[in-house]
């Protein structure tokens, strides 16, 4: 089973991806985590990637598609894959469909107000990428891996509008691309984490 999660920044994709990957034993692929990992390890293109990510812009299609393909070539797994944050353009969607069959596409829908509020409050573990809400969590140590919890360098007031606009302009067409396929389902992302997860699991369970 291969799944795509599409949603604006802070729509809850990462949180749902972690829950679904665990529940259905899927390989979780987050292109955002992949890029942050390359930057952390000072790998190839790290300066270029840091500048792009911190400005809130999208990584060019050719580069992100190459990064994903290189990663997939190194993975020796028979598991289904959960794509979190990929595809973000129609070109990426077309490329992905050449590599794998997609069973489910979940669009997690949230308003711009929710995006702004969640980004303001979002903290992330620099070790495992787990997301925290600053209004609900005190301390800076991750409960899951013991890593340091920080603000993401791209979670700023300046980049949130750029990222949301990029979502509307470049990624929303991906929603339209999948809209009429039987794999596509819209999910209400304004609800709590558990409720969003229930919506998705019910759809998977009903097939």
Site residues, ligand AMP (CB under 6 A): 9, 31-32, 35, 52-53, 56-59, 64, 85-86, 88, 92, 154, 163
Considering just the CA atoms, what is the radius of gyration of the chain in Å? Answer: 16
For helices 157-166 and 46-55, angle between their N-to-C axes, nearest 10 degrees? 90
CA separation for the pair 94, 99 (Å, rounded): 9
Q: How far is the CB of 207 from ligand AMP (least distance, A)?
A: 26
Verify whether residue 50 is a known catalytic residue. no
Give the three-state DSSP class for 9: coil
Cα-Cα-Cα-Cα torsion 54, 34, 71, 187, nearest 10 degrees, comes to -100
State which residue has the least CB distance to ligand AMP. 32
Q: How far is the CB of 206 from ligand AMP (least distance, A)?
A: 28
Verify whether residue 91 is a known catalytic residue. no
| Count of other CB atoms within 10 angstroms of residue 183 | 14
Q: In 3D, which of 165, 158, 130 has the Cα closest to residue 146?
A: 130
Cβ proximity to ligand AMP, 16 vs 31, nearer residue: 31
Question: Of the residues 36, 50, 118, 152, which is catalytic?
Answer: 152
Question: Of the residues 36, 50, 88, 118, which is catalytic?
Answer: 88
Question: Of the residues 13, 36, 50, 118, which is catalytic?
Answer: 13
Residue whose structure tokens are 């609800």:
191
Verify whether residue 13 is a known catalytic residue. yes
Q: How far is the CB of 62 from ligand AMP (least distance, A)?
A: 11
Query: Cis bond leading into 136, ω under 30°?
Result: no
Cβ proximity to ligand AMP, 121 vs 198, nearer residue: 121
Cβ proximity to ligand AMP, 159 vs 197, nearer residue: 159
Cβ proximity to ligand AMP, 171 vs 197, nearer residue: 171
Q: Which residues are catalytic?
A: 13, 88, 122, 152, 163
């Amino acid at each position: 089973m291969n799944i795509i999660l599409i949603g604006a920044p802070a729509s809850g994709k990462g949180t749902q991806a972690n829950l679904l990957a665990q529940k259905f034993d899927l390989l979780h692929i987050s292109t955002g985590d992949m890029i942050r990992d390359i930057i952390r390890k000072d790998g190839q293109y790290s300066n270029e990637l840091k500048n792009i990510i911190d400005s809130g812009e999208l990584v060019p299609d050719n580069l992100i598609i190459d990064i994903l393909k290189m990663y997939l070539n190194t993975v020796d797994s028979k598991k289904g894959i959960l794509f979190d944050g990929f595809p973000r353009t129609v070109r990426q969607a077309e490329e992905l469909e050449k590599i794998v069959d997609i069973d489910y596409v979940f669009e997690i829908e949230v308003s711009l107000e929710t995006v702004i509020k969640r980004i303001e409050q979002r903290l992330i573990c620099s070790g495992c990428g787990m997301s925290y809400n600053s209004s609900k969590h005190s301390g800076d140590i991750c409960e899951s891996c013991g890593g340091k919890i920080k603000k993401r360098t791209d979670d700023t007031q300046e980049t949130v509008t750029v990222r949301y606009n990029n979502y509307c302009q470049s990624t929303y067409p991906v929603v339209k691309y999948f809209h009429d396929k039987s794999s596509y389902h819209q999910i209400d992302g304004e609800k709590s984490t558990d409720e969003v997860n229930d919506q998705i699991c019910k759809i998977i369970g009903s097939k």
